[in-house]
Amino acid sequence: MQRWWKACWIVLGLALGPGLGAQAQDGRILRLVVPYPSGGILDAQARLVVPALRHHLQRELVVDNIAGAAGAIGLQHALAAADGTALVAGTDSDVVLAPLFNPELKYRPEQFRLLAVLGSAPMALLARPGLDLAVWTSLAAGAVRGDAELRLASYGVGSNAHLVADDYARRARARWLHVPYRGAGPLLQDLMGGVVDAAFLPLAAGVPDLVRAGRLQLLAVAATERVPGFAQVPTWEELGLDGFVHRSWSALLVPATVPAPALERLRAAAVATVQDGAVHQQLAAMGLAPVPLATDAEAQSFLAAEVRRYRGLAAAAARAVP
């Protein structure tokens, strides 16, 4: 069977002629920079799409994990590849939010060009076992009167989990003790163990499985409609918080300085990859919903809208600080 496949690829290469070889003869291997360590959620998403990207680009592509500073080091490294030899996998937290909260970072979201969104997931309120929606409502009301103090966790100051929680607090007039963690892993462990009470997290990756196993309570989702598989869980809009809709996303990006011909080739391959049936199914299994962006203009409009949205949330959070 292996020999049969090898023969097929040889025939395909001959049929394509010099076009395929011309892209690979420069000796440069394309890199997909993942700004986090191997084994994480974004790393898993990146490795999932690499085979399809290789196919559509018709050249070698390797994953390059460059971790540090909550994704900033990898993103800054990717920006140096202005010739189109490096793509980067990024999220709303590291591409948009991190530079908004940390002016010392040497990049801004406008320095990137979005190729395709791998998927998005609604932000949801997850609670420790035993804390259901009725208990949450009671504690939140008590927190306003100062009779109780909720311990609400996030995976870092300035993260989307932090800003969504702040938005909820302003809308619902709730207060709590913010407990920031240095990552989602330690947060989830303490949430399941009852060390903290609740957290706003993306309803993706392994989180739905933890809910089904009873290790976490899913109280409500910040979406316009209920989530498939959790039809019994209401949206925040149903509970009276109009407009409380938030999502987290991951995407493939390149430096905005990449030349137009290379940019178009990379964008076409990225779009074809996320539209691939097998890739779509595997991303959906991770809890990610597709975000169709058919043109480059739509992709850049999406990124610009996300920057405006998060800048508004960050400004509101800053005004709320006494």
Q: Output the pTM of the full model.
A: 0.81
> Which residue, among 276, 280, 252, 278, has the nearest Cα to 266 in the 3D structure?
252
What is the tens place of the pLDDT at every residue in 182-233?
778 889 999 999 999 999 999 998 899 999 999 999 999 999 999 989 999 9
From-to residues of CATH 3.40.190.150 in the chain: 2-120+248-317
Is it the case that residue 5 has pLDDT exceeding 90? no
- Find the range with the poorest average confidence among 143-147, 171-175, 258-262, 267-271: 143-147
Place of tokens 């007039």: 173
pLDDT at residue number 22:
32
Does the domain spanning 122-247 belong to CATH 3.40.50.300?
no
Q: Choose the weakest-confidence range: 6-15, 169-178, 230-239.
A: 6-15
Rounded to whole angstroms, the Cα distance separating 322 from 316 reads 12
Q: Is pLDDT above 80 for 164?
A: yes
pLDDT band at 16 (very low <50, low <70, confident <90, very high): very low
Band (71; pLDDT cuts 50, 70, 90): confident
Specify the pLDDT at position 100: 86
- Residue 35 contacts residue 72 (beta carbons within 8 Å): yes
Q: Is 88 exposed, middle or buried (0-12, 13-18, 19+ CB in 10 A)?
A: buried
Proportion of the chain above pLDDT 90, given as a percent: 61
Percent of the chain with pLDDT over 70: 88
pLDDT value at residue 197: 94
Structure token pair of residue 256: 């905005």
For the chain, where do the domains classified as CATH 3.40.190.10 start and end? Answer: 122-247
Q: For the segment 101-123, what is each residue's pLDDT rounded down to a tens digit?
A: 888 888 999 999 999 999 999 99
Architecture of domain 2-120+248-317: 3-Layer(aba) Sandwich (3.40)
Which has the closest alpha carbon to 92: 255, 315, 247?
247
Question: Dihedral of the CA atoms 25, 28, 29, 32 (nearest 10)?
Answer: -140
